[in-house]
Structure 1
Amino acid sequence: MNKIVKYSLIGLLVLGALWAAAFFIKSNSKSSVTYETQKPFISNIEKKTVATGKVVPEDEIEIKPQISGIIDKIYLVEGDKVKAGDLIAVIKVVPNEQSLNQARGRVRNAEIALNNVKIEYNRNKALFDKGVISSQDFNNLQLQFDQAKQELSNAQSDYQIIRVGSAGGSSSANTNIRATVDGTILEIPVEEGDQVIQSNNFNDGTTIATIADLGKMIFEGKVDEGEVGKLQVGTPLKISLGAVEGTELDAKLRFIAPKGVEETGAVQFKIEGDVEVNDSIFIRAGYSANASMVLEKRDSVMVIPEALLQFDNKTDKPYVEVAVGSPEEQKFERKDVEIGISDGVNVEIISGITEEDQVKQWNQTEPIKKGEDEEDSEEDSEA
């Protein structure tokens, strides 16, 4: 009986040891990873850059008054289309008292001078008719009389302009603010009752309205100094508007700034491009936009996905691993490659491999077993 119990215990211990060993081997064993491969292929590749900016009218014209005063009436609103000569607003003149008084005094002096010359003229005309004075003396008096009349007319016109803003016979009063070009009114920054200042040599004057032709738009943006050297005037652009989804406008680069501006530690260069406006899309001035442009282009070259590349830790040179033997053997050989341009997805291969090589995919990972995943989740939740 004791021998039976003894052998039973020994048997249980052996079975337990075998079960523990099997469990240990199973839980610690790792399945081998099978790497997939890809062949290089022929494709066109483009290196692009994107410049951020906005779409604005090519020319914006600011309408300013030629006389100071107060806005009496505004006849148009922002967004209205105008022709050159259309009336936008009318200014009511508030004359300067000192200037008005001086103009009034000038008129009075001209009247006094004219009356004095007129008396002398009439007296000498009678003598001239009787042949008492010579023709030369009478002609001098005639000239003085005509000049006095002209001086009075000028003084009266100046007084009228200072008082009401225009002379009585003027065909275009300074108080009438009119459009100088065809286009659309973008902005009217004043309101009725606002005081405005005339434009002169010492002051830009108050802007009554801003007019632009929305049919002639340009893209204004900035590019980094590392890319500006690869741009050329005439390069095609593709303009994407932030406010109009799914629409691209064609444009052509027309200007590259010769001087850069430092912004947040990087030097940026201003660029401009002529935008081909589509009549089916209404583009408002100031829309934010992105301009995509091709810096370099290669046609029918050998490429691989950029994710297949690796870089040496010491030399920082690119390389790939190419399959050697059958796919089941999973043997790979390192090959250094020379690369060209990249579009962010594919990269040009200049030398190092051929179209027949099978290039190893580096993003292959071992799948996590469901049981192990659940155990790890339980451990994390308990922690």
Structure 2
Amino acid sequence: MKIIIGVIVGFVVLAIGGLAIAGFVFRDHMTFLASAPRATEVRVETVAARELIESVPAPGEIEPNTKVDISATVVAEIVALPFREGDLVKKGDVVVRLDDRELTARLLGAQASLESTKANLESVRASRARTQAQLLEQQARHKGVLTTLEFAEKNLQRKRELHDSGDIPLAELETAQERVREVLAQIDASNMLIAAAESSLQAADAQILQAEAAVRQGEAEIRLAEEALRNTIIASPIDGKVTKLNAEVGERVVTGTMNNPGTVIMTIADLSRMKMIARVAEADVAKLQTGQKARVTIETYRDTVFHGVVDRIALQRTTANDGTGFFETEIMLRLDGREIRSGHVANVEIEIATHTGIVVPSQAVVERAVEDLPIEVVENNPHVDRNKKTIRVAYRVVDGKAVATPVRVGPSDLTHTLVLGGLDAGDVIVTGPYKVLDKIRHDERVVDLTTLPRKPASGAAAGGSTGGSAS
């Protein structure tokens, strides 16, 4: 019995000793783990060769390719608006009717005035005709008087010869002389009558010219009145949709120039053909040409990328309010039957070239000071310009560590960059998070966060199942 008790006591002592030794070993192991640096959680990506489309980004707005502002050219009251905002209209549809009573009265007045002016013209022409007839009659009489003068002068000559020869008395000679004087007086009176008739004729011609001018003016006033009357009915010049209505029935419209906002009654736009008016930076405009493909994103339609082509590039630089220069560029959109509204803010990527090579996320390439990198990283590296203080690097993951790797980069799009040297297909690089990339250092231990177990969501009930994974 004593032997059995001794054996049991011995086993207990050995067990206690073993546990003590195991406790010391576990404590030393945990102390080692606590003192080792913790690996940084990162996102990684395997480098591969693929296609990158180089593009020029630009902001802008969406507008209809065809849009017309309907304005009045006469001052009148609106009596009918057959279409409301959002209604479809066809070319030729009457979209505005104005009160035409005042303009109709004006036309009737112009027509009456023209009739009076024409009557006056006919009266002046008739008066001239009478004056012309009187002149011709007087000229005919004048010719008769001249003939009489010629006969009287010949008769006087004969009387002188007969008187000189003593064949007639002096009284007959004096009678012949008196006759010549009478005829000369008649000629003077005839000349005065002819001059007066010619003067009256000239005055009549002037009156005719004035009357004819008055007739032409009256006819022009009638044409203007007729045009104004026609303008009380306004038709749509295009097929489209009423996108804005600024007036109501009963309001009095005013006329203006260049479609000032206060004079526009409504706006009609063809929403089946839309374009983006992009503001391309001055430094990028030389890379553009008509026909280039473009991808347009609109905040309102986040899930849709609209494709289009460059249709027009402005020749004149435009200056923004902040003094920066840009060139307006029109991109015609392919809607594929979809209707979008006018005025949306949009962004465009205009494709200017296509490249094939090593393509990585742009944020994976970071700037580092040359002096902050180990000498083995920068020395004799063809992608390091020792004349510059900073270089571009990507961090390759090698044996669980981030290795700073100088790279030479090429063109990029909004999210990715073409790497021309420094990386090979199959390399694994750190691509995020951005706050980690901003601070990560050469030879730092890293771990792919996608390989870590998901953390339970905060606030999960005790004993319950875990929620979603951490973001």
Q: Normalization by structure 2: what TM-score?
A: 0.53
Larger Rg: 2
Q: CA deviation at 1:219?
A: 0.9
CA contact 1:308–1:359 (8 Å) conserved in 2: no
What's the secondary structure of 2:347's corresponding residue? strand
2:392 maps to a residue whose letter is: K
Superposed CA offset, 1:300-331 (max 9, x none): x13456676565453443144474xxx7xx68
Give the counterpart letter for 2:284 in structure 1: V
Aligned partner of 1:336 in structure 2 is 406
Question: Which of 220, 223, 234 is residue 178 of structure 1 equivalent to?
Answer: 234
Deviating more after overlay: 304-313 vs 58-67: 304-313
Alignment of 1:358-377 (within 5 A): 358-359=427-428, 362-364=446-448, 367=452
**Which of 270, 292, 297 is residue 354 of structure 2 equivalent to?**
297
Equivalents in 2 of 1:295, 1:183: separation in Å? 35
Q: Which residue in the other structure is 1:381 paired with? A: none
1:258 to 317, 320, 323: 317
Tell me, what secondary structure is at the counterpart of 1:273? strand
Q: Distance in 1 between matches of 2:126 and 2:304?
A: 85
- Asked whether the 8 Å contact 2:294–2:331 carries over to 1, the reply is no
Which of 296, 304, 323 aligns to 1:246? It is 304
1:351 aligns with 2:421: yes
Deviation at 1:268, TM superposition (A): 6.4
Structure 2 unaligned residues grouped into runs of 5+: 1-5, 140-192, 373-389, 431-445, 463-471
Question: Is the 1:296–1:341 Cα contact (8 Å) retained in structure 2?
Answer: no
Larger helix percent = 2
2: CA distance, partners of 1:115 / 1:38 = 99
Structure 1: distance between partners of 2:43 and 2:336 = 51
User: 1:139/1:270 Cα in 2 relative to 1: closer, same or farther (>3 Å)?
Assistant: same
d(CA) in 2 for partners of 1:309 and 1:115? 95
2:265 to 208, 219, 224: 208
Rounded to whole Å, the distance in 2 between the matches of 1:369 and 1:157 is 91
Mapped to 2, the partners of 1:37 and 1:61 lie a distance apart of: 54
1:81 maps to 89
- Which amino acid in structure 1 is aligned with residue 254 of structure 2? I
* TM-score, normalised by the number of residues in structure 1: 0.63
**CA separation of 1:331 and 1:236: change in aligned 2, threshold 3 A:** closer
Q: Measure how far apart 1:282 and its partner are.
A: 3.0
Match of 2:69 among 62, 68, 75: 62
| Aligned residues of 1:70 and 1:194 also touching (Cα < 8 A) | yes
Report the Cα offset of residue 114 of structure 1: 7.4
Letter of the 2:60 counterpart: G
- Corresponding residue to 2:392 among 317, 321, 325: 317
Deviation larger for 115-124 or 135-144:
115-124
Distance across 1 between alignment mates of 2:324 and 2:227: 54
Q: Does 1:24 align with 2:82?
A: no
Instruction: Report the CA distance shift for 1:25/1:62 in structure 2 as closer, same or farther (over 3 A).
Output: same
1:14/1:307 CA distance change after superposition, 3 Å? farther
| 2:143 alignment partner in structure 1 | none
> CA distance change for structure 1 residues 90 and 308 in 2, over 3 Å: closer, same or farther?
closer
Aligned match of 2:284: 228
- Identity among equivalent pairs (%): 15
Could you tell me which residue of structure 1 aligns to residue 332 of structure 2?
275
Asked if 1 retains the 8 angstrom alpha-carbon contact of 2:296 and 2:346, the reply is: yes
Compared CA separation, residues 16 and 56, structure 1 to 2 (3 A): same
Q: 2:276 aligns with which of 219, 228, 231?
A: 219
| 1:66-115 residue CA offsets vs partner (Å, 9 max, x unmatched) | 332333333444444343695732244769xxx9xxx9xx99x9799879
Give the corresponding residue for 1:90: 98
Q: Is the 8 A contact 1:339 1:350 kept in 2?
A: yes
Aligned to 2:439: none
Aligned to 1:237: 294
Contact 1:110 1:148 (8 Å CA) reproduced = no
Match of 2:437 in 1: none
Rate the CA distance shift 1:308–1:21 in 2: closer, same or farther, 3 A. Answer: farther
Structure 2: distance between partners of 1:370 and 1:178:
69
Post-superposition offset of 1:52? 3.3
Which ranges in structure 1 are unaligned for 5 or more consecutive residues? Answer: 378-383
How far apart are the structure 2 equivalents of 1:217 and 1:130?
Answer: 81
How many residue pairs align between the two structures? 347
1:49–1:68 CA distance, 2 compared to 1 (3 A):
same
Give a deviation string over 1:158-199, Cα, whole Å, max 9, x none.
8889xxx82xxx366255243483343443422222223334
Correspondent of 2:205 among 134, 143, 154: 143
Deviation string 1:233-289 (CA, Å, 9 cap, x unpaired) is 3232123445555352322152256244255xx946353224145462234433443
* Distance of aligned partners of 1:131 and 1:284 in 2 relative to their CA distance in 1, 3 Å threshold: farther
Q: Which residue of 1 aligns with 2:182?
A: none
Distance 1:198 1:261 in 2: 31
CA-based RMSD of the aligned residues comes to 5.5
Do the aligned residues in 2 keep the contact of 1:82 with 1:179 (CA within 8 Å)? no
Q: Deviations over 1:327-383 (max 9, x none)?
A: 7xx68876433233444665433233544x654655535957999x9xxx9xxxxxx
Deviation larger for 289-298 or 239-248: 239-248
Answer yes or no: is the 8 Å Cα contact 2:125–2:204 preserved in 1: no
The corresponding residue for 1:380 is none
